[in-house]
Amino acid sequence: MSQLESLLDDDVLGVAANLLGCRLETEFDGITTAVTITETEAYAGPDDPASHAYRGLTDRNRVMFGPAGFLYVYRSYGIHWCMNVVVGEPGVPHAVLLRGGEPVAGRAEIIRRRGRDTDLTNGPGKLSQALAVTGDDNGTDLRLGPVRIVAGPGIGDRTVERTPRIGISKAVERPWRFIAAG
DNA sequence: TACAAGATTGTCT
DNA sequence: GACAATCTTGTAG
């Protein structure tokens, strides 16, 4: 089993916690950018009214119904792109939303893409823009790239906080948001 | 066929 | 702190 498959071999809440501290990297036009994941949210498909997959399969969320280890990208408010890691067996549309990270490679390129040098990757839409991820990358195999997730370097001694989820209107009471403190 | 709502962000006051 | 930008889905007629 690969490193990534080991990380994904858990329930959706466990995977959301496992992904903290992992390296998320993209390579486009020979330029590599990468962040350490520090913030995730779990979405449990059919059991979760806040999930896009709650009402069943559509053209948009098709990837979530596939096998784990693929990238699900969706458009938010018609403007931004948000990245999810597909979790669970084929037909079980669980996913982990990647909300934030810390730049660890290609910082200059990230600043160029974002057009600013503050608040680079502290939100799902910002994270996608910083790594140049768009709907074209929907369905990417995260083991092969150009969007990849690899284990480590981890979050060191930082503690993991669980808080209610943000920016949604349903099932907001579920503490399924995971943050590496600091 | 039409319309309201949404897992957001940037800008202006 | 409030609001605009912009598009896909779901639901109603």
User: Which domain CATH number covers A19?
Assistant: 3.10.300.10
Task: Confirm whether any atom of chain B, the nucleic acid strand, is less than 7 Å from CB of A57.
Answer: no
Task: Confirm whether any atom of chain B, the nucleic acid strand, is less than 7 Å from CB of A74.
Answer: yes
Residue whose tokens read 């893409």: A113
Task: Confirm whether any atom of chain C, the nucleic acid strand, is less than 7 Å from CB of A58.
Answer: yes
**pLDDT tens for each residue of A95-137:** 999 999 999 999 999 999 999 999 999 999 999 999 999 999 9
Q: Angle CA(A46)–CA(A51)–CA(A52) in degrees, nearest 5? A: 100
Q: Tell me, in Å, how far CA of A173 is from C1' of C10?
A: 24
Q: Which of A77-86, A144-153, A168-177 has maximum average pLDDT?
A: A77-86
Beta bridge partners of A39: A100, A179
pTM: 0.93
Domain holding A51, by residue range, is 3-180
pLDDT of A124 reads 95
Which regions of chain A does DSSP assign to beta strands (E)?
Answer: 22-28, 31-44, 71-76, 80-87, 94-105, 147-153, 160-163, 177-180
Task: Confirm whether any atom of chain C, the nucleic acid strand, is less than 7 Å from CB of A170.
Answer: no
What is the domain count for chain A? 1
Residue A169 banded pLDDT, cuts 50, 70, 90: confident
**pLDDT tens for each residue of A131-157:** 999 999 999 999 998 999 998 777 888
What is the average pLDDT score of chain A?
A: 91
**pLDDT tens for each residue of A40-59:** 999 998 888 888 888 888 88
Q: Tell me, in Å, how far CA of A91 is from C1' of B9?
A: 33
Find and give the residue nearest to B5, measured CA to C1'.
A77
Q: Which nucleotide is nearest to A52 (CA to C1')?
A: B7
Average pLDDT over every residue of A64-76: 94
Reference A77, options A117, A124, A37; nearest CA is: A124
